[in-house]
Structure 1
Amino acid sequence: MEYFIDVEERVRGKISNRCKLEIINEVYYALDSNHQKNFTDSCFGHLLSVAEIKISLQIVHQCIVRTVRTLKENEVWCKFGNKIARFGLEEFVLVTGLKAGELESEDENLGLKSDLIQKYFKNSKGKVVRRQLLNAFRRCGNQPDKFKMGILLILAYVLLSAEENTNLNLWWFNLVDNFG
């Protein structure tokens, strides 16, 4: 099997982590008791215990550099010694507790019409970065809106974390519009 990253091209360097698990507790404790219950009962509720887990980024890095090519669309294969380990969609669902299925098409124009965008980011011209969302969350006094922004923060800082100045996918705002 062919490695995804050739052995000769592997780089020794510092491992960085953009995932900010402390956001989980910040979101949870900023909510009133009704919205804390909503959070706990949601697919993100199990993340409250994840915030306490210590993770070894060296192990994650070693898994990544041992990734091998596969034709399976929803699977990642890693080679450890002479053995292949498979991590697929089923394992992802079991580990994360999140649901998996077909996504509706990502229409960012729907996000522009979102209540949150209209209330808190109307001057953003369709560009909202993580830091802006975090600041709006911290200033927000409306609990249903704070809950929605909290879910978005967990997506942006924990599950799909990227660089601080990366624009958020506005489609996400549309997804949380009916939460409350």
Structure 2
Amino acid sequence: MVSPIKLMIGGEEKFQGKALALSHTKSAISTIKEKFSEQQLRTFEQSCFGHLLLIEDLKWTSPIVHGLLLRKADPKTVSQVNGIKFIVGNKVIQFTPQQFCVVTGLRFGNLPFIPIPNNDNCSLKRKYFGNNKTVSLLELEKAFRDCADADDALKLGFVYFAVFVLLGSEKHVHIDMRYLKLAEDLEDFGKYPWGAVSYAKTNASLLRALCADYQRVKGPKKASKTKKSEKQVKTTATGRPREYHLKVMGSKTVMGERERERERN
């Protein structure tokens, strides 16, 4: 017997929320254009990311995104449908990997193995981050802005664009260090399936954000809460402000859950 299609959050359990965009698209594109020489900019324009420099300032409509999230279909009841699934007007709509590829123009495919960078096998790490075991977005941005070597600046610029625009996150968050190793060969960097990484993270982050905020809203409140604490900014299970942790590039969010899985394995 086929289970009826259901919403993850029932209509009677709707709640207010705010979807937050964490992609630094406008500022990152401006920084790229300011930092690069004409030759470097031409090289970037001819790369896998070049068409994304044409993105204008994105208008983020938080209420619409939150409303759509509340229409997210329970994947257990629509397993036969591919992609990210929503129920709108009693119909299942989906956002498939193929559609994501068309919208973003990013490559799909299997994720290749990338060794963990260290000071022996990755000059970018050795020269700009030394013995640091982690690198935040803010540290990467500073290294890119301050870099005086033209070749290295171009490579750092590709990583900078990937994590600031495609993968969007708060600036204190650590980047995937393997992208530094990948950027040492820009031909390999251009062949990397950024679309697959982005799409996987989109699906995972939508589900995680919705479930975390739902648990916060619907979960039992501690009786010991004071009036003062109740007035404080609400937080999700991750401890960040209650806004959904969505990263956007164009119409959807980006970076890869599968990357983390590979790192753990």
TM-score over 0.5 (shorter chain): yes
Aligned residue among 43, 52, 61 for 2:48: 43
User: How many corresponding residue pairs?
Assistant: 177
Higher CA-based Rg: 2
Aligned-residue offset at 1:51: 3.1
Aligned residue among 130, 153, 161 for 1:146: 153
Aligned residue among 51, 67, 71 for 2:72: 67
Secondary structure of the residue that 1:16 maps to in structure 2?
Answer: strand
Cα gap change, 1:167/1:10 in structure 2, threshold over 3 Å: closer, same or farther? farther
- C-alpha RMSD of matched pairs (Å): 2.2
Match of 1:89 in 2: 97
Aligned residue among 35, 58, 62 for 1:57: 62
Aligned-residue offset at 1:114: 1.9
Give runs of aligned pairs for residues 8-157 of structure 1, distance below 5 A. Answer: 10-21=14-25, 22-68=27-73, 69=75, 70-71=78-79, 75-107=83-115, 109=116, 111-112=117-118, 113-124=121-132, 126-157=133-164
Cα gap change, 1:72/1:164 in structure 2, threshold over 3 Å: closer, same or farther? farther
Contact 1:25 1:51 in 2 (8 A): no
C-alpha distance in structure 1 between counterparts of 2:84 and 2:24, whole Å:
24
Q: Comparing 139-148 with 88-97, which one deviates more in the overlay?
A: 139-148
Aligned-residue offset at 1:59: 2.7
Aligned-residue offset at 1:73: 9.5
Aligned-residue offset at 1:24: 1.6
Cα gap change, 1:15/1:135 in structure 2, threshold over 3 Å: closer, same or farther? same
Aligned-residue offset at 1:74: 6.4
Consecutive unaligned residues in structure 2, runs of 5 or more: 188-265
Match of 2:168 in 1: 161
Q: Comparing 24-33 with 134-143, which one deviates more in the overlay?
A: 24-33
C-alpha distance in structure 2 between counterparts of 1:48 and 1:156, whole Å:
14
Secondary structure of the residue that 1:123 maps to in structure 2?
Answer: coil
C-alpha distance in structure 1 between counterparts of 2:81 and 2:126, whole Å:
37
TM (normalized to structure 2)? 0.61
Deviations 1:95-139 (A, max 9, x none): 0011100011354x2x22322111100131x20000000011111
Consecutive unaligned residues in structure 1, runs of 5 or more: none
Q: Comparing 59-68 with 29-38, which one deviates more in the overlay?
A: 59-68
* Paired letter, 2:55: V
Cα gap change, 1:116/1:66 in structure 2, threshold over 3 Å: closer, same or farther? same
Percent of aligned pairs sharing the same letter: 28
Secondary structure of the residue that 1:104 maps to in structure 2?
Answer: coil
